[in-house]
Structure 1
């Protein structure tokens, strides 16, 4: 059955959206084409009408994943009257929340896929670097100061948050108290340290 161009575009977008979520939930090698297409409501064979390979899909899904949003962070980005300390505190608390820890498919791909991206080769590394740079630029808007200092501060914050979230996820099932302690400690230290 032939589909219209708009239906084909919808199918492609659905595949990318499903892949972006499933890759963050299960890792790049933890999900197959059949599961992605089934999640998107399509058949397995349909994927290759839209993508030249599974790797091409993974790269596009990774780019899409970096469009993630976390509230109230995104509302504060638009509120230029909010003090930078309020924006920073909201960013850190939203990122290092139990909800973000427990729902990787809806969250930051840096914490969910950094190790996978490093192992996936130079093309995926390039895509991942674009996404990380997008996050750096996005988070820099939350801070005050000179651009060079804001960029350095953002890299420290983002790297600390990604590492803390990855550790909190890795320990959540085996030692929930430790997982919570990691999130709580980093929330407190990052906000306090950034204000000093």
Structure 2
């Protein structure tokens, strides 16, 4: 069997990173290298030609997930050019949807990697800056007036994690709806009071 060209090696590496990004969000970073490489359609031995360690791959997978989400979010907001509130509401509706609950592999890396990074302090330290930047960027898309969006993001991530944990029970949809309502009804302009 001949050597793999540099271009093919780079394509293989990108495929492994993209596959890892999806699998880690869906199943956690405990996915084995063998399972990951099989899902990417490559041999287990090829992993060590591409990456120094699994931890390096986790770092790249997290960065890839945030870059992918940033591109998707930017496109969604462009649909609402000049209408921050419409873009914000679309983000909330999409984030707190049954589809997002049921498809963590394509979902938000904030919720997708939070538990693993919380359990793995060394990995969290390595990936912290990318993760922190991702959290801040996501919150900024939710910001309104004096609100920096952090509490809104916490509500969304918490509701999504709880909805995933209770999937199959009616409370799962109730959690998503409660968070959507809290985040969209609380930002409506208050009615003006008339003093006659």
Could you list the runs of 5+ residues in structure 2 that have no partner in the other structure?
Answer: 190-196
Deviations 1:142-175 (A, max 9, x none): 5453xxx353xx11111111110000000003x1
2:12 is aligned to: 11
Q: Within 5 A, what are the aligned runs for 1:17-166?
A: 17-29=18-30, 31-69=31-69, 73-79=73-79, 81-141=81-141, 143-145=143-145, 149-151=146-148, 154-166=149-161
TM-score (ref. length: structure 1): 0.86
Q: 1:135 to 1:99 in 2, by over 3 A?
A: same
CA distance in 2, matches of 1:14, 1:97: 28
- Tell me by how many angstroms 1:89 deviates: 1.0
Based on CA coordinates, which of the two structures has the bigger radius of gyration? Answer: 2
CA distance in 1, matches of 2:127, 2:147: 23
Q: Is residue 173 of structure 2 the alignment partner of residue 172 of structure 1?
A: no
TM-score (ref. length: structure 2): 0.86
SS across alignment from 2:67: coil
Aligned length: 188
Q: 1:70 to 1:94 in 2, by over 3 A?
A: farther
1:184 is aligned to: 177
Q: 1:52 to 1:126 in 2, by over 3 A?
A: closer
Deviations 1:27-72 (A, max 9, x none): 111x110111111111000001010011111111111112344998
- Tell me by how many angstroms 1:184 deviates: 0.6
User: Is contact 2:25–2:105 with CA below 8 Å preserved after alignment?
Assistant: yes
The Cα RMSD (Å) is: 2.3
User: Is contact 2:152–2:183 with CA below 8 Å preserved after alignment?
Assistant: yes
CA distance in 1, matches of 2:118, 2:126: 10
Could you list the runs of 5+ residues in structure 1 that have no partner in the other structure?
Answer: none
CA distance in 2, matches of 1:167, 1:109: 16
